[in-house]
Amino acid sequence: MDGGPSPRVLIVAMDPRSHSRGYKRVTGLAAHFLNEEGAQVDVVTAEPRGWGKLDERARLHRLDAAEARHPLPWLERTVVIRAPKAVVWPFKRLGRVGGVLGRAQNRVSSAVHRRLFLPFYRHVRPLVLARIARRRVLRDIDMAHVKRVIVLDDTSAPFAWRLARRNPGLTVTTRQVRTLDPDG
């Protein structure tokens, strides 16, 4: 090194479960850049679990709590689950009729969630996560020292695209090359 701050690598894996070896690829890349290249590694993800094998020197930026507080999932939970449950709750004391009504409400709420909201949210989620990451993660990372951004899934693409637009000299890639060389 030339005595300056060590280079940074940003690994963006918003949804590592979308690939069969997603977690293994992230931990392998992080370990390589930490051990072989001497870089600082930041991992941005929206997955709360599965990071036990990630090297403790890598900084993990989790977006799952902020995503749960986002108005869109919150509104869906309120309108589809909480409000109908509040309407059915007084009838639960009626015994068997209340139980049947409660099960019917639960079945309808879960069907609306699965068949209407989740297909819609699957398309909107990358944009929601990009906005959350831009607001929460970028204030913690000095982008002037980031040498490479590695994108590991489709959900991460909007955030990476915004990073590339904001930092024209930054190498943003989906290729998982294990070098800090911008041409690599």
Predicted confidence at residue 16, as pLDDT, reads 87
The residues, any chain, with a CB within 8 Å of residue 166's CB and separated by 6 or more, are 143
Half-sphere exposure of 169 (CA within 13 A, CB side): 5
Q: What is the pLDDT of residues 111-150, one digit of tens each?
A: 999 999 999 999 999 999 999 999 988 888 888 889 999 9
Domains for the chain: give ranges and CATH numbers. Answer: 8-63+137-173 (3.40.50.20), 69-125 (no CATH)
Mean pLDDT of the region 84-99: 87
∠ at Cα 131 (116, 34), nearest 5°?
115
Predicted confidence at residue 97, as pLDDT, reads 85
Whole-prediction pTM value?
A: 0.84
Angle between the N-to-C axes of helices 157-166 and 118-136, in degrees from 0 to 180, rounded to the nearest 10: 30
Q: Per-residue confidence at 1, pLDDT binned at 50, 70, 90? A: very low
Percent of the chain with pLDDT strictly greater than 70: 96
Predicted confidence at residue 3, as pLDDT, reads 60
Q: What is the pLDDT of residues 11-59, one digit of tens each?
A: 999 998 877 788 899 999 999 999 998 899 999 999 998 899 999 999 9
Predicted confidence at residue 163, as pLDDT, reads 92
The kind and range of the H/E element at 97 are helix 96-112
Between residues 94 and 11, which one has the greater pLDDT? Answer: 11
Question: Strands, E, within 25-145: which ranges?
Answer: 40-45, 59-62
| Amino acid (1-letter code) at residue 40 | Q
